[in-house]
Amino acid sequence: MFVKLERDARAVVVCMSIARGDKIVARQAAEIAAGAHLHWINVTVGDGIEQSLVATCTGDGAVSAVDWVFRAGKSDRQKLSVRNVFASSRGGGEITMKGVAEDTAHVDASGMIEIGVQGGGTHTYLTQNVLMLDPTAKVDAIPGLEIKTNDVKASHSATVSRVTEEDLFYFGARGIAEAQARQMYIEGFLGEIVEHIENGALQEEMKRALFPCAAE
C-alpha cells in the first residue's frame, strides 16, 4: 500500500491486519510533501503477520504521525516495523507503538526515526509501550534513532509492563473474575489509541478486533 500526499494535503489512513489462519505480509509506504500532514493508524491482531511501514517526509514542514496498536495471544507470532524518514527541514510527528502479548505469543516491534542531512529543525519522537499478561509472552521492543544533522529535537522511549499474580488477586478480592480482570487491563491499556478514531463505525470495528470478549 502506497500513499502520497501533495503540498498542504491532510489525510488519516486506517489499516487493520487481522490474521485468521493465513500468513499476512504487508508492506506500507508514504511520501509526504511540504506542509502536508499524514496520520497513519495500524491495528494488528493474530498470528503469522509480518508488517512494515516507511513514511518519508520529502517537503519542508511535512508531518508524519503513526499510531500502531497490536494484540497477540496463544502462540501468535508478529514482526512489525515502522520508520519515519525526514528528508527535508522542519518535519514533525510522533510514532506510538502500543501492544499486548498473552500466553506464549512473541512480537518483534521495531521503530526508527531517521533524520537526513537536510532535516534541520525537525521535532519528532518515538514511544513504545508494551503490556505482557503472562510470563511466557515475549515482546522485543526495539527503538532507534539515526540523526545526520544538527538543530533537531528527537527522542525515543520503550516501556514494558507486566500483570502479576498480586494484581489479579487484587481484582479477585473484589469479586472480579480473572478473565474479566485481564480484559479490563487490555481495554484500559489499548483504549487510548482506539479513541483517536473519529469515525464511530470504524472505531467500533477496531474495538471488536482488539476486544472480542467485550463484544460478545
* Residue numbers of the chain with a pLDDT score lower than 50: 215-216
pLDDT reported for residue 197: 82
pLDDT reported for residue 180: 83
**Residue 40 bridge partners (DSSP):** 13, 66
pLDDT reported for residue 169: 67
pLDDT reported for residue 198: 81
Cα 114–Cα 117–Cα 121 angle in degrees, nearest 5 = 80
pLDDT reported for residue 213: 66
In whole angstroms, what is the distance from residue 104 CA to residue 18 CA? Answer: 18
What angle do helix axes 178-194 and 165-172 make, rounded to 10 degrees? 110
Q: pTM above the 0.95 mark?
A: no
What confidence tens digit (pLDDT) does each residue in 190-215 have?
888 888 888 888 888 888 888 886 54
Pick from 99, 16, 19, 12: nearest CA to 63: 12
What confidence tens digit (pLDDT) does each residue in 95-121 have?
999 999 999 999 999 999 999 999 999
Place of cell 526515526: 113
Asked whether the beta carbons of 63 and 35 are under 8 A apart, the reply is no
What cell was used for 6? 501533495
Q: Is 107 exposed, middle or buried (0-12, 13-18, 19+ CB in 10 A)?
A: buried
β-pair type (92-101, 2-5): unpaired
Pick from 28, 119, 131: nearest CA to 71: 131
